[in-house]
Amino acid sequence: MLDFGRLKSGFSGEIVSREDSDYEVARSVYNANIDKKPQGILYCKNEADVISAVNFARDAGVAIAVRCQGHNGSGFSTCDDGVIIDLSGIKYTRVDNEANTVRVGAGCKWADVDDATACFGKAVSSGVVSSTGVSGLTLGGGHGYIARGYGLAIDNLLEVDIVLSNGSYITASEEKNTDIFWGIRGGGGNFGIVTSFLFEMAPVQDVFCGLMAWDLADMENTFTWYDQLMKTARNDLYGFYAVQTIPPGPPFPEDLYLQKFCGIMWCYYGPKEEFDEAWAPIKAFCEENPPVMDGTHWGTLRELNAAFNELYPAGEQWYWKGDYFDSITDDVIAAHSKNIQDVPTWKCAMHLYPVNGACHNVSADSTAWNDRSSNYSMVIVGVSPDAADFENIKSWAKRYWKDLNPHSSQTGSYVNWMMPDEDHSRVKTAYGSNYDRLVRLKRKYDPDNVFHMNHNIVP
């Protein structure tokens, strides 16, 4: 049993242990299928708390899980018998509009960043759901609506503050501690606990966005056209392809509730005066191939980033699998058409996110994220509010993935789309030619693997 009394003198945050009445809430993470029982949850308020917590848990020899928003399906932000170092109290943002940067505390959600930057007409390249945590998404790499124009989240990261496994505290950037700065850009939480991020902002505010849905019978046509478009389109035009079910509620048309569809979630974020030209190929395609639903409209990136937050609340069952793809071939389309037929719940989905454009301007060895040539990062998500569905959603996601994997780029998956039951060879594949350098870095900064609750780089 851990003696939290020994921690208390150097720790200003709250400690929740198994005896406390709020323990059940405090130990929960986003994916309700993860049911781990740490000895305590250490709610940090600042860097000093993180240092004290790391020293305490390391000296006690217990597992350390680090939690920002606990949003990762893998459940690596909790553990059995060890401690959760919770960062949600390190929540601040500070925009420097002249320098075009925003400093972000490691406990923020992306919605906090959107709230801080939107009034300046700016944004940071993040994901497509703003309830996700800044930390986990960024340290894994981070791709979303403006990735084709501005790159991955890590491509916009300028500096981090980080607590190392020996309790020391350093700043890393392209100028200082450059080796660890390379490693944390895609290497997850393997090297330490980041307490703050400094991002470059991008000039984005009004976007033309929304879902266009077609009948599944149109998948071959739409998917083939989409693939050609995303390989040639200007970088400020983005669309992710979706194969899923229309949710049974507003804002979707009632006559389409629970209908399976294929579709594209669009986001044009270029100059308004160039919209007609940018949109012309989509307009022309839709005239020939009218969608069953067209929800596109002018809005803001901040609103778009929040569009899925309610659809996917915390506390549901999740299982996901990913892969990178170069092209959408007939075999790929056949696998999607087949597997959407027996989808176990309406919340299950396949999303194909473009990671080309500006993401390809960075070389494979410039950051730990290794695949800078595939065009798409795919995820298949099995989701249900009902625990009884878990085995079904898991086996569906695995079956679906198995049919697709032979047609993938064979470069593994975005690490944030991997579950803990993936074979470790998948982690190695994902880091590819960067893996050996990551191992050397791990030996230097965390030789005893204090930070192992992640897709682990084994020292």
Interface positions with ligand FAD (CB under 6 A)? 30, 65-73, 76-77, 87, 106, 127-129, 132-133, 135-137, 139-140, 142-144, 188-189, 193-194, 312, 416, 453-454
Q: What is the dihedral of CA 62, 63, 66, 67, to 10 degrees?
A: -100
Element housing 437 (H / E):
helix 435-445
Question: Smallest gap, in angstroms, from Cβ of residue 435 to ligand FAD?
Answer: 18
- For tokens 């930057």, the residue is 117
Q: Which residues contact 347 (CB under 8 A, 6 or more apart)?
A: 245, 311, 312, 316, 381, 383, 384, 385
Total number of residues shown for the chain: 459
Question: Smallest gap, in angstroms, from Cβ of residue 311 to ligand FAD?
Answer: 8
Q: Are 198 and 160 in contact (CB under 8 A)?
A: yes
User: Which is closer to ligand FAD, CB of 127 or CB of 183?
Assistant: 127
Helix, strand, or coil (residue 146): coil
38: left (phi over 0), alpha (psi -120 to 50) or beta: beta
User: Which is closer to ligand FAD, CB of 225 or CB of 244?
Assistant: 244
Question: Of 282, 180, 191, 286, which is closest to residue 238 (Cα–Cα)?
Answer: 282
User: Which is closer to ligand FAD, CB of 189 or CB of 270?
Assistant: 189
d(CA 146, CA 149): 5
User: Which is closer to ligand FAD, CB of 85 or CB of 340?
Assistant: 85
Question: Smallest gap, in angstroms, from Cβ of residue 383 to ligand FAD?
Answer: 8
Question: Smallest gap, in angstroms, from Cβ of residue 217 to ligand FAD?
Answer: 28
User: Which is closer to ligand FAD, CB of 65 or CB of 83?
Assistant: 65
d(CA 201, CA 198): 10
Question: Smallest gap, in angstroms, from Cβ of residue 262 to ligand FAD?
Answer: 19
Question: Smallest gap, in angstroms, from Cβ of residue 215 to ligand FAD?
Answer: 26
Helix, strand, or coil (residue 213): strand
User: Which is closer to ligand FAD, CB of 225 or CB of 367?
Assistant: 367
